[in-house]
Amino acid sequence: MALDLLLSEYQLGSLTLKNRVVMAPMTRSRALKNIPNEMMAEYYRQRASAGLIIAEGTPPSPHGSGYPRIPGIYNEEQVTGWKTVTNAVHERNGHIFLQIMHTGRVGHLLNLPDGAHLVAPSAIPVNGKIFTSKGMIEMSTPKELTTGEVTDVIEDFVKGAENAMEANFDGIELHGANGYIIEQFLNPNTNHRNDQYGGNLKNRSRFVLEIAEKVSKAIGKDKVGIRFSPYGTNNDMPAYSDDEVEKTYAYLSEKLNEIGIAYIHISRPVDKTIQNIRSNFDNTIIQCGGLTASKAEKLLQDGTVDLTAFGRPYLANPDLVERFKSDAVLNEPDPATFYSPGEKGYIDYPMLEEV
């Protein structure tokens, strides 16, 4: 199949993307002491032929740092480190957003900086283990946020977005997927609150909508996107009724359209959900999850979505766009190196010209 749309330019707000290939955000655990480094800059530089890179999930506060060796965006050292990354991408005429991810109840105290606490909408632990300095351990039980502390977390997202602008990112993506804090507020099985942030659908949605509105006012709505994973069960997210899921994301897309954010990024959507979102949201829609170049082209040709994101293929193929153009064979990623420290399986995959 010819990839006419996939390889064509696209206007995302004020940015002209050179193609419709998006590098999806993926945690790689290479940030020692939660600070981005030169190795990370090289990793993203290698992948700058993507129309848009969405950098890995990055906590806006120490309390949201549930995994080991993930970069943050809450202090000056981290901002300086991220500038090295954004400069590397921009030097290759690429565009890069930062995904702001607060892990909420997902994590262990051993992975948090000194003095930080695992926090969530309700004190409901994840049923599962997580890697720590002492090996795989059952996740810690989170502290339930007070109403005032919820406001503090919202402000952490705003400050994180402002710091991302200081670090020269082109925009930010709010991580509302994969069972992290935003989705924990949305899901009635992980949100048992009885204040204005819990209970009915509108109250459970209040947290993310307040974040989206305040971040949009702080950095500009054309620089804000969000990622959702309706029906996702990552990180022990309990399923709830299909009817409630559809109502939730229809409502969110309608309200986010009113705020005017740049895009909604949907991970592995079902047809009904993406149709509901498309009917309520006027701006860009990105789809991610198990796509090939030909599947992406078909989605674009059908008008289902505007941009298509690739995760796993980008792990081992820094020149993915060039491989799509020439219909070249893709490198296979090495799962043993997905989260390990060091260059192996990170910046050493061969480019086409090296094969």
Where do the domains of the chain lie? 10-354
Residue given tokens 């997927």 in the structure block: 177
* Res. 355: pLDDT tops 60: no
Tally of residues, the chain: 355
**What are the tens digits of pLDDT across the range 164-204?**
999 999 999 999 999 999 999 999 999 999 999 999 999 99
**What are the tens digits of pLDDT across the range 71-101?**
999 999 999 999 999 999 999 999 999 999 9
**What are the tens digits of pLDDT across the range 272-292?**
899 999 999 999 999 999 999
Q: What is the pLDDT of residue 271?
A: 86
DSSP assigned state of 311: S
* Nearest in space to 141 (alpha carbons), one of 112, 107, 177, 188: 107
**What are the tens digits of pLDDT across the range 207-232?**
999 999 999 999 999 999 999 999 99
DSSP string, 202-261: HHHHHHHHHHHHHHHHHH-GGGEEEEE-TT--GGGPPP--HHHHHHHHHHHHHHHHHHT-
Report helix, strand and coil shares of the chain as percent, to nearest 5.
Answer: 40, 15, 45
Q: What average pLDDT does the structure give for the chain?
A: 96
* 3 state SS for 115-162: CCCCEECCCCCCCCEEEECCEEEECCCCEECCHHHHHHHHHHHHHHHH
Selected catalytic residue, list 180, 249, 346, 349: 180
Amino acid type, 90: H
Mean pLDDT of 52-79: 97
Mean pLDDT of 287-300: 97
Q: What is the pLDDT of residue 354?
A: 66
d(CA 323, CA 49): 11
Taken in order 52, 264, 268, 343, the sign of the CA dihedral is positive
Q: What is the pLDDT of residue 221?
A: 98
Rg of the chain, C-alpha, whole Å: 19
Backbone phi, then psi, for 289, in 5-degree steps?
125, 100
Read off the pTM. 0.97
**Residues 6 or more apart from 220 whose CB is under 8 A from it?**
none
Query: Is 180 considered catalytic here?
Result: yes
For 26-91, list the strands marked E by DSSP.
52-58
Q: What is the pLDDT of residue 291?
A: 97
* Nearest in space to 43 (alpha carbons), one of 334, 324, 338, 315: 315
Question: Has domain 10-354 been given CATH number 3.20.20.70?
Answer: yes
Give the three-class secondary structure for 17. strand
Q: What is the pLDDT of residue 204?
A: 98
Q: What is the pLDDT of residue 151?
A: 98
CA distances from 149 to 87, 143, 146, 207, 287 (A): 35, 11, 5, 12, 33
Q: What is the pLDDT of residue 1?
A: 74
